[in-house]
Amino acid sequence: MLGAKHIIEAWLHSKVHIDPFEPKQVGPNSYDVRLGGYLVQVKRNCWWGIDPDKPQRVGKEISIYNSKGKILWPWQLWLGCTREEIGSAHYVPMLEGRSSIARMGLFVHVTAGFGDVGFQQTWTLELKSILPIKVRAGMRIAQVSFHEVSDIGLQYTKEGNYVDQVGPTPSKYRPD
C-alpha cells in the first residue's frame, strides 16, 4: 500500500490519476475523496424489490450543489459519486469509507471497494444510512488507497461496463 509520500510522488509522475488533486486530502496511506454534486435514488424494478435480471431503475437525478444538503433516510439506497476522478494504470485502487462518516451511520459502498487497474474516473458510491443523515456536495466521504499489483495482465478497457461513466451510474449487471 502506498503511503502519503508515495501517493504524492505517484501523482507527480502520472502513475496515480487524481483530478482535482488537493494536497490537504492526502492521508497517511490514502487520499480522501469528496461527494460529488448529484444523487439518484435506487427504485424497485418489480413488485417485490429488485430483480437483477431486469434493468435497474433509479429516480430522477437531483443536484446537491449549492444546497444545504440532502437528508438520506435509512430505508433508502442512493447512488452518488466522487467529485474526483481517481485511479491508476499502475496500482490497484481501493475505496473505503472514512471512519468519521461510518461513526455517523453512513455506508458509502456496499461491496464495490476494489477498482480495476486502469480505471481512472469518478467512482459511484452506494449510500446507505443507519440513521437519517444529511450529506452535502464536497464533504470528504471516502478514501482511496493504492496497492501494488504483482501482475498487470489485464487492465480496465474500453469494453468495461462503466467506461466513460459520468455521475452516479446505475448497475449494468449482465446475467451470465
For domain 4-46+56-147, give the CATH superfamily.
Deoxyuridine triphosphatase (dUTPase) (2.70.40.10)
- pLDDT value, residue 153: 63
Cell of 108: 458509502
Q: Which pLDDT tens digit goes with each residue over 132-145?
A: 999 999 999 999 99
Q: Which residues of 113-152 are buried (b: 16+ CB within 10 A; e: fewer)?
A: bebbbbbbbbbbbbbbbeeebebebeebbbbbbbeeeeee
Share of the chain above pLDDT 70, in %: 85
Task: Please state, as a whole number, how many other Cβ atoms lie within 10 Å of the Cβ of residue 25.
Answer: 18
Closest CA to 172 of 39, 78, 56, 91: 56
The model carries a pTM of: 0.85
Confidence of residue 171 (pLDDT cuts 50, 70, 90): low
| 126 belongs to the catalytic site | yes
Rounded mean pLDDT, 151-172: 64
pLDDT at 65: 86
* 115 vs 85: which has the higher pLDDT: 85
Q: How far is CA 108 from CA 75, 127, 128, 135, 143, in A?
A: 15, 5, 7, 11, 10
Over residues 156-171, mean pLDDT: 64
Average pLDDT over residues 100-112: 88
> Which member of 9, 22, 84, 126 is catalytic?
126
pLDDT over 90, % of the chain: 71
Backbone φ, ψ for residue 126 (5° rounding): -100, 105
So what's the pLDDT on residue 32? 97
